[in-house]
Amino acid sequence: MKIYRLGKQGNLRSITLFHAMARLGYKGLVITEPADTYVSVGYFDKTEDIIDYQRCKSLNIPVIRREVGGGAVLLSQGQVFYQLILPRKQAPFKVEDAYRKFSKPVIETYRRLGVEVFYRPINDLVVKSGKKISGQGAADIGDSFVFVGNVLLRFDTKLMSELFKVQEEKFRDKLYKSLEENITWVERETGRSFSYQEAENILIEEFSKLIDFEGEGEINDQVVHLADELMKHMTSEEVLFEDTGRKHRFLKIREGVYVRNAVKKVKGGLLKAEIYVKENRVEDIRIYGDFTLIPKDAIKELEEELKGMNLDEVKFKVEDFLKKVDMPGVQLEDLLELLL
């Protein structure tokens, strides 16, 4: 296995090259950085549920569906990608064991850059405050196992909030605030700037303590050609909007933190909700809209009662609520679909 210093790559090659290399039998560690700004959705994601595709198009920000799991991410300059391509037999059988093993060089890289980072199952790296500083993914591609992630030197939470799918535009400011509170990066944590080259060198040193590499390698024109062909395929609407059967109840901000902005038209009017969940409990909630409720202040009482409640218990609280109020044209199923 070799080390591939691919540097800054455009045309989405910072993500398509490792897909092509795995298909063509390359093995080793790839380090690269995107020259462009784009959104990558996970293999199992339902794109239309989480990404505002039309807004991305209007901003000329491509969207690509990778063959690796994990959530939707904004990729741009200031992110150093590590992409490990291994023979399947050299990777742990359980994916979580692979995350734990291959996160170690990344954790040490962050430490050397001045940030104490910890692995949080299943695929996040977080700082002491709990903020996410890196997401990772793993998958089988061809005959290889791939483990990928990035070192966030810089990150644009404002732009990311513009690209998520929301039901009401006014919710974007709250989404941005949530991203700011739960995502961080090296420069933010240390107050120092680091170059791509510095991060690349440290990543290679730390991964080399775990894996014996046989020097450095280069890619040929066949890899680049295949990567560009894969880009056309992976950015096609047919692939982006393929139904994987997954339903996104909430937008994931980081592991354990989720938000939801929902709107539902029912016989009794228009129901709206904003929900913030942390560690599977309702941290904050607001229910509003155009509907009839007697007594009218009961919705505030419901909100207060739901705060701190485990998501699994919400259904029972809503059932009790509807027994005590008059909410014409609104059924239990309507409220549960809105909230959950």
Q: Which domains does the chain have, with CATH numbers?
A: 2-240 (3.30.930.10), 256-339 (3.30.390.50)
User: What's the pLDDT at 243?
Assistant: 80
What is the predicted pLDDT for the residue at 271? 95
Predicted local distance difference test score (pLDDT) of residue 255: 86
pLDDT given at position 248: 72
Residue 262: predicted pLDDT = 92
The token pair at 294 is 């007697």
pTM recorded for the entire structure = 0.87
Residues of the chain with pLDDT under 70: none
Q: How far is CA 192 from CA 48, 113, 115, in A?
A: 37, 9, 11
